[in-house]
């Protein structure tokens, strides 16, 4: 008899209450459906399946083979691509495997500056990517908050990287993939798009399509795509690897084979088949009309939120958004991101402090907060609700030292959000 743990179930209930009654504005979060949660918590967690469908190192894989093959086929259909690996345990794992497959130790990479909204795995010195490879960065224009493609071209000509990385964690504008590909071709670099954040919007054609232009695309599955926590690597078209890397049978002559082997055995062991099943369901859901309606609303809500803040005199980096997130610049409000995050959390409004471009403070303090609409749109919030959300945030930030006011906002938030059931529970 297995003794029942009474503590963790209680804590899960506590977390469920927090998620239900609060406003989730962290741009990288979302709420999965009950069927995705069920797959992620299923018996599939029991199965070891090192290798790929049909080529496993363990027996008893015939069912998970069907599951993983379906996940691959659905992801290929969703993004209209030729090749996908659905095994990376996370976005960072996908990026690590890709870099291992494509780069040699010490190769130069050119990515978007972490301090302007880039991601750790794009060359930060505190991450494997900045330790194993020589990293260079481009940033945004100080006045406009936009990346300027001319600057990327100039940096690429100066540094001659082996890979140019596009994609971000906190950039609210779209990417010019044809321009980036032209730059990559000019300097002889590979082009990689990390679409961890906007994958859902890209899948529905709401943002520029990276696939025809980028040699490689990586993504997470848990942000706008609204699947389980995880990653994947995709290629619009497989191509012959230019490194002449082959095994004895010459079997690694395609990039797909190099990438597959960089995931396993290169950087991971057994794939998480319960999560792969949940990814398959997420791709299935993402091909429905309801999901399209959802992401259209995510983008609409972000635009409305940005405009409502600007109408109240707030500065938004780049003065708006094309995608699902925005960066609130609090410098003119004499508030740090840390102060804002803490006060908003006291009102059950969950955000994250974030550096703004050219920030003069540290990542622990910051001058901004990042806000995203993917999660609250899943809860069912639409235009009118977004205006109310902005009103609540404004009240908290204007009354940052007034516990009574903040408590009042919390009560209003909790009461309001109880009307929008969590999709994760039946």
Ligand X SMILES: Cc1ncc(COP(=O)(O)O)c(C=O)c1O
Q: Given the rule CB under 6 A, which residues bind ligand X?
A: 28, 90-92, 95, 119, 121, 167-169, 194, 196-197, 220, 231
Exposure string over 379-406, b if 16+ CB within 10 A, otherwise e: bebeeebbeebbebbbbbbebbeeeebb
Q: Six-digit token pair at 72?
A: 């691959």
Residue closer to ligand X, measured from CB, 78 or 195: 195
User: How near is the Cβ of 242 to ligand X at its closest, in Å?
Assistant: 25
User: How near is the Cβ of 109 to ligand X at its closest, in Å?
Assistant: 14
Q: Which residue's beta carbon is nearest to the bound ligand X?
A: 91
Q: Cα(414)–Cα(426) distance, rounded to whole angstroms?
A: 20
Residue closer to ligand X, measured from CB, 96 or 184: 96
397 close to 406: Cβ distance less than 8 angstroms: no
118 is in an annotated binding site: yes
171 close to 355: Cβ distance less than 8 angstroms: no
327 close to 370: Cβ distance less than 8 angstroms: yes
Q: Cα(195)–Cα(83) distance, rounded to whole angstroms?
A: 16
User: How near is the Cβ of 121 to ligand X at its closest, in Å?
Assistant: 5
User: How near is the Cβ of 166 to ligand X at its closest, in Å?
Assistant: 10
Residue closer to ligand X, measured from CB, 233 or 397: 233
Count of CB atoms within 10 A of residue 6's CB? 7
- The residue length of the chain stands at 426
User: How near is the Cβ of 250 to ligand X at its closest, in Å?
Assistant: 33
Q: List all residues 6 or more positions away from 162 whose beta carbon is below 8 Å from its beta carbon.
A: 102, 103, 104, 107, 108, 109, 189, 190
324 is in an annotated binding site: no
User: How near is the Cβ of 89 to ligand X at its closest, in Å?
Assistant: 8
Residue closer to ligand X, measured from CB, 29 or 385: 29
Q: Cα(102)–Cα(270) distance, rounded to whole angstroms?
A: 22
Q: List all residues 6 or more positions away from 152 whose beta carbon is below 8 Å from its beta carbon.
A: 110, 138, 164, 179, 180, 183
Phi, psi of 412 (to 5 degrees): -65, -45
Q: List all residues 6 or more positions away from 357 whose beta carbon is below 8 Å from its beta carbon.
A: 113, 115, 116, 117, 139, 140, 142, 145, 317
Torsion of CA 277, 193, 363, 405, to 10 degrees: -60
User: How near is the Cβ of 296 to ligand X at its closest, in Å?
Assistant: 22
* Active-site residue set: 48, 50, 194, 220, 223, 229
Residue closer to ligand X, measured from CB, 95 or 366: 95
Residue closer to ligand X, measured from CB, 64 or 196: 196
388 is in an annotated binding site: no
Which residue is associated with the tokens 């006045």? 143
Exposure string over 171-207, b if 16+ CB within 10 A, otherwise e: bbbbbbbeebbebbeebebbbbbbbbbbbbbbbbebb
180 is in an annotated binding site: no
What is the enclosing helix (H) or strand (E) of 391? helix 383-398
Residue closer to ligand X, measured from CB, 194 or 359: 194
Q: Cα(130)–Cα(133) distance, rounded to whole angstroms?
A: 5
CA of residue 278 relative to chain centroid, distance? 17
Binding residues, as ranges, are 114, 118-120
Binding residues for (6S)-5,6,7,8-tetrahydrofolate, as ranges, are 114, 118-120
């Amino acid at each position: 008899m297995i003794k029942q743990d009474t503590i963790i179930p209680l804590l899960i209930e506590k977390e469920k209450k927090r998620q239900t009654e609060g406003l989730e504005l962290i741009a990288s979060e979302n709420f999965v459906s009950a069927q995705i949660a069920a797959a992620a918590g299923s018996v599939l967690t029991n199965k070891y399946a090192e290798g790929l469908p049909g080529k496993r190192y363990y027996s008893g894989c015939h069912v998970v083979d069907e599951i993983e093959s379906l996940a691959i086929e659905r992801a290929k259909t969703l993004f209209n691509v030729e090749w996908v690996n659905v095994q990376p345990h996370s976005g960072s794992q996908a990026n690590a495997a890709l870099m291992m497959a494509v780069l040699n130790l010490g190769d130069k990479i050119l990515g978007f500056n972490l301090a302007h909204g880039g991601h750790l795995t794009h060359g930060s010195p505190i991450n494997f990517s900045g330790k194993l490879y020589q990293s260079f960065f481009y940033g945004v224009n100080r006045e406009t908050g936009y990346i300027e493609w001319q600057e990327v071209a100039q940096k690429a000509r100066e540094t001659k990287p082996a890979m140019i990385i596009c994609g971000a964690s906190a950039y609210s504008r779209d990417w010019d993939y044809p321009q980036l590909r032209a730059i990559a071709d000019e300097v002889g670099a590979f082009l990689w798009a990390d679409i961890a954040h906007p994958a859902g919007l890209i899948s529905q054609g709401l943002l520029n399509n990276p696939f025809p232009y980028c040699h490689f695309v990586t993504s997470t599955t848990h942000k706008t795509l609204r699947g389980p926590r995880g990653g994947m690597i995709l290629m619009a078209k497989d191509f012959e690897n230019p490194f002449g890397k082959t095994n004895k049978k010459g079997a690694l002559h395609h990039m797909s084979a190099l990438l597959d082997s960089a995931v396993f055995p290169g950087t991971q062991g057994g794939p998480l088949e319960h999560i792969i099943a949940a990814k398959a369901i997420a791709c299935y859901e993402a091909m429905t009309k309801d999901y399209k309606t959802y992401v259209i609303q995510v983008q609409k809500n972000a635009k409305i939120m940005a405009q409502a803040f600007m109408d109240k005199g707030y500065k938004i980096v780049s003065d708006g958004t094309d995608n699902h997130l925005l960066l609130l610049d609090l410098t003119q409000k004499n508030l740090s991101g840390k102060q804002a995050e803490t006060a908003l959390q006291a009102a059950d409004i969950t955000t994250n402090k974030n550096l703004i471009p050219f920030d003069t403070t540290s990542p622990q303090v910051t001058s901004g907060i990042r806000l995203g609409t993917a999660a609250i749109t899943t809860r069912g919030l639409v235009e009118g609700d977004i205006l109310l959300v902005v009103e609540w945030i404004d009240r908290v930030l204007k009354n940052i030292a007034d516990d009574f006011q903040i408590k009042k906002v919390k009560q209003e938030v909790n009461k309001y959000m109880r009307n929008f059931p969590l999709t994760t529970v039946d």
